[in-house]
């Protein structure tokens, strides 16, 4: 299992065990984490799974694809340097313990 820490906009922290190979969006949905919607089901078509990756972890992720880059222009909450689509981040040992912050709004 891979530890993922989701931090809500109000500072509430939820630590969950993610299955390797499953996206952080899907993990949040199945674990009942509020603040990630995942409207398109993970095909990088909605930007409602927007997260701000903790600065300590951002460099450990693979770079954004062109599709993710484009979709991040459509987020409801402001895009930042550490913005990512959580449906495009796959849980794996290299990100065990990752911390992601949810934006104030997704829709």
**Which positions lie near ligand FES, rule CB under 6 A?**
25, 38-40, 42, 44-49, 71, 85, 87
Select 9 or 68, whichever has its Cβ closest to ligand FES. 68
What whole-number distance in Å separates Cα of residue 25 and Cα of residue 23?
A: 5
Q: Which residue is nearest to ligand FES (CB)?
A: 87
Shortest distance, CB of residue 97 to ligand FES, whole angstroms? 22
Select 11 or 64, whichever has its Cβ closest to ligand FES. 64
User: Both tokens of residue 67?
Assistant: 């599709």
Select 7 or 86, whichever has its Cβ closest to ligand FES. 86
Rounded to 5°, angle at Cα 60 from 59 and 63: 70
Strands 13-18 and 98-101: unpaired
Shortest distance, CB of residue 49 to ligand FES, whole angstroms? 3
Q: How far does Cα 39 stand from its chain's mean position?
A: 13
């Amino acid at each position: 299992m891979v530890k993922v820490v989701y931090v809500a906009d109000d500072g509430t922290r939820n630590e969950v065990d993610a299955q390797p190979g499953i996206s952080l969006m899907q993990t949040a949905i199945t674990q009942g984490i509020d603040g990630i919607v995942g409207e398109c089901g993970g095909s990088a078509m909605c930007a409602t799974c927007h997260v701000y990756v903790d600065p300590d972890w951002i460099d450990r992720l693979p770079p954004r694809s062109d599709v993710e880059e484009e979709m991040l222009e459509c987020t409801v909450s402001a895009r930042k340097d550490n913005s990512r689509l959580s449906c495009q981040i796959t849980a794996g040992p290299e990100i065990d313990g990752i911390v992601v912050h949810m934006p104030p709004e997704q829709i």
